[in-house]
Structure 1
Amino acid sequence: MNIRHPLKTALAAAALLAAAGASAQAYPAPGKTIRFVIGFPAGSTIDNVSRVVLDNIRTRTGATIIIDNKPGALGVLGVETVAKAPPDGYTMMPASSATHSSGPYLSKAAQRFDAVNGFTHVGRVVRFDVVVVTGAAQGLQTAGQLIAAAKANPTAVSYGYGSGTGQVVAAAFSRAAKIQVLGVPYKGQPPALTDLIGGQVSFVAADLGAVLSQVRAKNLTAVAVVSNKRSTILSDVPTARELGLGELNLTGWIGMAGPAKLPPEVVQWWNTQISTAMAAPEVIERLRNMGMEPDLLNGEPFQRFVKEQYDAWGQQIREAGIQPE
């Protein structure tokens, strides 16, 4: 009898179990679907940016990634879905200034989760300017005309908002301009902009990418950039500082995140895929054509950035006197 045989058998079994374990940990597993939950409607800035990056990742890796739009409550419906999901990498989302910088201060529902520590913030993909736009048909072609109209008849002027970013910037702009106007909430930026073009509201503070095509088509007029420097895309639009409105320097951003405590191999996979996508010339071109500035930031630096932005937007919201709803 060969006494080594049981030992060889045990070692072989252990090797098979180890291989099976390693295979089980592979991400994404063959045949498994990654659900990418977006708390805003199709056609919104966050949705458009996500689709550009995810298209590249799908094509290169063959991963099955489906987009699940869950608009409502300033993105809270989608964000909370991800916050409560298992931390296995199969439920992911776009993090943004709307959902993780301003949203937690604007919605009581958003206070059910920790915007900073309740997620694994994987990587930032873009930054973007926020601009104040009016409906071209209303005849308010400059910020001065808009402010004068609001001071002359406050009840006739209102602003629409479909994201936390839009609400905070519009309120901060109004406060700096010393005007008091009504804010009208929407389920996303596209319906707010539709009503702006139709004359139901007077102005909207929106992501540049959401309004660029309509500004170029002259359906909307950009009257101010809420930044300390002019946009490289709409270089003829004055900044808030140039308009005498002080230091209104609010920049939007979009990244990718998952539930807290994602496994290291999942974080590594997403870091690699985001970095590769953001190095692709066609991705950069598509994002810039949308009014986005590609700006990759991964790992721990991105986690710190999220915390810094959360604090900065919180200060602006407190100064504007906006209360959570």
Structure 2
Amino acid sequence: MKPSKLHNRRTTLRAGCALVASTLLAWALPAAAQTTWPERPIRIIVPYAAGQGADVLTRLLTQELAKTLNQPFVVENRAGAGANIGTAVAAKSAPDGYTFLLGTNATHAANEFLYSNLGFSPSADFEGVAMIGLLPMVISTSSPDFPTNGIPELIARARANPKTLNVGLPSTTASVVLAQFEKVAQAPLFGVKYKSSAQSMTDVLGGQIPLTIDTVTAARAHIASGKLRALGITSLKASEMLPGVKSVAEQGVSGFDVVAWDALFAPRGTPRDVVQKLSEHIQRALQQPETRRKMQEIGIEPLYMGASQLDAFVKDERLKWGGIIKAADIRID
């Protein structure tokens, strides 16, 4: 082979190797950059006031996440408009892996059927990161003259005396629980709306109303003291948070399952590897016995779902909550 042809072939070979190397480097650099996440503090927007259950849960969870991810978490409370204000802020945040939302059944399943203008789209603006936990409600009574000791007796009495048994409803979730219970159990009760759990609990403990539907957190201490009698919990199965209390479904109302829930969401477009990494760290945190114990203390049943499973769950929940709200014509007062 002549020297000139050999030189040309070597030059071509070098150019080809350089092109392959640069292409591989181009692929490798983003991957290397992504594996460095997180490189700075991470913001979690909580669309509820400081001290409320969602806020307490977020601070508990982020303490564990900060340890394993080696970065601080900043919890930012943006309360107002039934959690719509903070959720809208999160929806408009950059999908860079440094802003997330503590979302709930309100923000992602119920509110679009209760408000005319949310300021965000639960499906278009967000993607799931991880389910964190469920918040079952409990149907309770305090009246010593109220002969009901379980759901079957409550149903029988409601049918015998339609719309005469008052039920305290301190939240939209409680209103949805009652609407579904009346429909599925064919038990015509009379809902009395309250602005807070404190007001509803005061009236049921004082005998002004015989029944209430509220969170495990609000009712548990009164149940433990004997001031309240738990008739049934609204999750599909009984919960270890209320030992000895059967679920509504376990007492003959087949399939009854209406619970609140908390989950972490990311602005849509957040890098998938970041979502996956954070989801895995949440799973590890929820496996810690101390974390689980503290969550149950505040009335949250730990439950992990990964991103795709959470997205499917939320889709089903929107259909469920939307159907109940529309059928019962539930409105925000």
Q: Give TM class, smaller chain.
A: 0.7 to 0.9
Measure how far apart 1:321 and its partner are.
2.6
CA-atom RMSD in angstroms: 3.9
Report the alpha carbon displacement of residue 234 of structure 1 after superposing the two structures with TM.
2.5
1:159 is matched with which residue?
A: 168
Distance between the aligned counterparts of 2:304 and 2:114, measured in 1? 27
> In the TM superposition, what is the alpha-carbon distance from 1:118 to its structure 2 partner?
2.0
Distance 2:247 2:176 in 1: 17
Shift of 1:20: 10
2:205 counterpart of 1:196: no
Distance in 1 of aligned mates of 2:286 and 2:261 = 15
Equivalents in 2 of 1:20, 1:306: separation in Å?
Answer: 31
Contact 1:37 1:92 in 2 (8 A): yes
Name the SS for the 1:276 alignment partner: helix
Identify the residue that residue 120 of structure 1 maps to in structure 2. 127
State the TM-score, normalized to the length of structure 2. Answer: 0.74
Structure 1 spans left out of the alignment, 5+ residues: 1-10, 187-191
Distance 1:46 1:324 in 2: 21
Percent identity between matched residues is: 23
1:271 maps to 2:282: no
Conserved 8 A contact 1:141-1:221: no
Contact in 1 for aligned 2:162/2:188 (Cα 8 Å): no
Q: Relative to structure 1, is the Cα distance of residues 314 and 19 closer, same or farther in structure 2, using a 3 angstrom cutoff?
A: closer
Q: Take 2:29 and 2:66, find their aligned partners in 1: how far apart are those partners?
A: 26
| Greater C-alpha radius of gyration | 2
Give the alignment partner of residue 177 of structure 1, picking from 182, 187, 203: 187
Written as runs of structure 1 = structure 2, the 5 A alignment for 1:41-56 is 41-56=49-64
1:300 pairs, out of 304, 308, 313, with 308
**Is 1:106 matched up with 2:110?**
no
Measure the CA separation in 2 of the matches of 1:139 and 1:89. Answer: 56
- Residues 264-295 of structure 1 deviation map (CA, whole Å, 9 limit, x = unaligned): 23213311221221222221222234443322
Deviation of the 1:138 alpha carbon: 9.0
Give the TM-score taking structure 1 as reference length. Answer: 0.75
Q: Deviations over 1:212-250 (max 9, x none)?
A: 344324455433322454334334445445777675321
Give the deviation of 1:262 after TM superposition.
1.0
For residues 48 and 223 of structure 1, do their structure 2 counterparts lie closer, same or farther at Cα, with a shift above 3 Å needed? Answer: farther
Q: Is the 8 A contact 1:128 1:253 kept in 2?
A: yes
| SS of match in other structure, 2:308 | helix
Mapped pair 1:27 → 2:21: no
In structure 2, do the counterparts of structure 1 residues 208 and 141 end up closer, same or farther at CA, with 3 Å as the change threshold? farther
Structure 2: distance between partners of 1:78 and 1:220: 35
Structure 1 residue 280 and structure 2 residue 288: aligned? yes
AA in 2 matched with 1:161 = P
Q: Deviations over 1:46-95 (max 9, x none)?
A: 22332222111123333221222233332222212211222123221222
Kept after mapping to 1: 8 A contact 2:179/2:324? no
User: Does the CA-based 8 Å contact 2:162-2:189 persist in structure 1?
Assistant: no
- CA drift of 1:181 comes to 3.2
Report if the CA contact (8 A) 2:127-2:307 is conserved: no
